[in-house]
A and B are shown apart, each in its own frame.
Chain A
Amino acid sequence: MQNIIRGKAYVLGDNIDTDQIIPAKFLSYNPSDPSERRYFGMYAMDGVPAGQMGLPNGNIRFVRPNEFKTDFTIVVGGKNFGCGSSREHAPLAIAEAGASIVIAEFYARIFFRNCVNGGYLVPCESVERLVEKIHTGDELTVNLGTCKVTNETRKTSHALKPLGDVAPIIEAGGVFQYAREAGMLKS
């Protein structure tokens, strides 16, 4: 796990459900097939209503049409990020597009668990609500060691909550690596 993550922010609102993150019509791609897996990147956030895509202005796609990778490294959300379906395709899609961290007020539990156990994304929780304080495109620096996100564009900084119980699993890179390191699984 990298302690310092730099990149552009992509800002979304509250209750971003997994149907918005990756709509059900794309779930026929098999994530275990590398030639199909990349399509989850192409369609990441395809189900977010246009006006909510990239706040505050909206109408900014996470991934440009017909491309596989995003310009955004850090997704910023509000309350209950990742609610709804248990589809692991959701954190996988965000990661496949090239983002590496989400910062939300709090998460729906299956999405959070999938981020951690699958080793896709670091699911950080902010201390205060950031949706109105960070704009899509702002350059951010996240320091996981000091639990701080610095907005280089607006010259502000905000505290993050410590990762807590799940930090060892995130640091290991997922539940399989964690269980191997803990001696629960044979290498």
Chain B
Amino acid sequence: MAGMTITEKIFAKNAGKAKVSPGDNVWVSVDILMTHDVCGPGTIGIFHEKFGRNAKVWDKNRVVIIPDHYIFTADDKCHRNVQILRDFVREQGLPYYYDPEFVKNEPRMPNPYLDPTKTRYKGVCHKALPEEGHVRPGEILLGTDSHTCTAGAFGQFATGVGNTDAAFTLGTGKTWLKTPPTMKFAFRGEIPPYLTAKDLILAVIGEIGVAGATYKTMYFAGEGITSLTLEDRMTLTNMAIEAGGKNGVCDVDEKTLQYVRHRSHVKNWEVFKDDPDARYCYEKEWDLASFEPLVAKPHSPDNRDTAMNCRHVNIDQAYIGSCTGGKITDMIFAASILKGNVVKVPTFVVPGSTEVHADMKRLNLMGAEKGPNEKSIEDILLDAGCRVGPSGCSACLGGPSDTFGRLAGTEVCISTTNRNFPGRMGSMQASVYLASPLTVAASALTGHITDPRDYVVKPIQTGMAGVL
């Protein structure tokens, strides 16, 4: 009998079975269910319709609601949707809700938080979930957002679902899942200073295509992954969905344990490893030193090319943000290149969470507490001519027409986000290139797509940024 993978072991535990195999349909208990302002109202509507107007959620400590998509807009339907979340939170007595208290139910642009440390609002759900201790190894997380797979970086099973599935889980604590086969992507060596995990995942997606992992688990393994920060691992698992993956997962190590113990008040979670005789439907090993800085050209995340080959592409805008490329380490990567220089094109920076935003003000370029006469990461970005907006999903998915950084015409944009589908950032005529924060920052300085190798001469230290 073959051994099991991490994902199979988590499925077996939550299904109450000794063993599951790829293809098995199982009913599992769900540890955490997350929703947000775009899919929450529909989910809540189905919950009330199917379970009754007075129904209660299965476990109020396992429901997490994080408004993040359409916050900084004058569109009053968006504000109304936040109000629907608030009403539900009050009705159910939910403790884990991160309210944008500055959003009033009226048709005007809300004034953002003044101090990111003094708001309950968090920003992008996939960054906020682990920060707030809702992500733990060995658990099952469902979220009404396809990038819920990000949390697999912490050794759990996390995947995106629709409103109906979420409503079903809200009432029952359960869902049915088909056990996926696992693809193993092993990485050797240490990551060179001119690369980030974004380059690795663009390489993987370019290799297997946007449907290369459909219905499958993407397991990122090897010493190359251990060498990455948790934030960089999140960049890998975040984009598993861009290859069609059901989930992405990394091994749990000391970095994971340190993070989760520091963040979560729940202590009784389990760490799983792949058995030595676990079965994989695909295996490939890569040497980290073999990669070059990459981009995904319009209009698909698998349209891989090197930044070098695209050096003749002029850009009109650069964008640094999102659950993929708006973490504090991403900001340090970008600021390391932008420091002391001035951008040639409008460059929009959107912190992935209010914690990231607070850290941008608190930390220096080494990821340590800044001294009184030292520049913060945000200072460096502002000095370089970047525009820094409030935390949230912002222009990553276009959004309402008044969204910060949204594309409106025929712009060419280089972006640290995760999707470059037609129209994704707001304009059907625009062209979006996906790249690492290093490549985006270097390109912002030159006005054309630029390989960051000329700008990164020594390893970039991020210290404990994004950990404690």
Contacts and interface: CB of A to CB of B under 8 A. Distances in A.
Interface stretch (A56-64, A110-118, A155-163): A110-118
Q: How large is the interface on B (under 10, 10 to 19, 20 to 34, 35 or more residues)?
A: 35 or more
B77 interface: yes
B164 A175 contact: yes
Interface in B31-84: 38-39, 41-42, 44-46, 48-50, 69-70, 75, 77-78, 80-81, 84
Contacts, number: 143
Nearest to B426: A25
Interface stretch (B128-136, B192-200, B353-361, B395-403): B395-403
A24 B421 CA distance: 12
A154 interface: no
Nearest to A109: B215
A176 B41 contact: no
The list of the 8 closest CB pairs from A to B, nearest first, reads A32-B45, A88-B162, A86-B160, A114-B162, A118-B164, A28-B77, A80-B211, A86-B146
A33 to B, nearest CB: 8
B215 A83 contact: no
B423 A20 contact: yes
27 contacts: A17-B419, A19-B398, A23-B423, A25-B400, A28-B70, A30-B77, A32-B42, A32-B44, A32-B45, A49-B428, A80-B210, A86-B39, A86-B143, A86-B160, A88-B42, A89-B42, A109-B246, A110-B146, A110-B161, A114-B164, A117-B165, A118-B164, A165-B178, A175-B176, A176-B168, A184-B27, A185-B171
Interface string A144-180: 0000000000000000000001000000001110010
Nearest to A186: B51
Interface of B: 25, 27, 38-39, 41-42, 44-46, 48-50, 69-70, 75, 77-78, 80-81, 84, 143-146, 148, 159-165, 168, 171-172, 176, 178, 210-211, 214-215, 241, 244, 246, 300, 397-401, 419, 421-424, 426, 428
Contact of B45 (A23, A31, A118, A176): A31
Contacts of B148: 86
Nearest to A28: B77
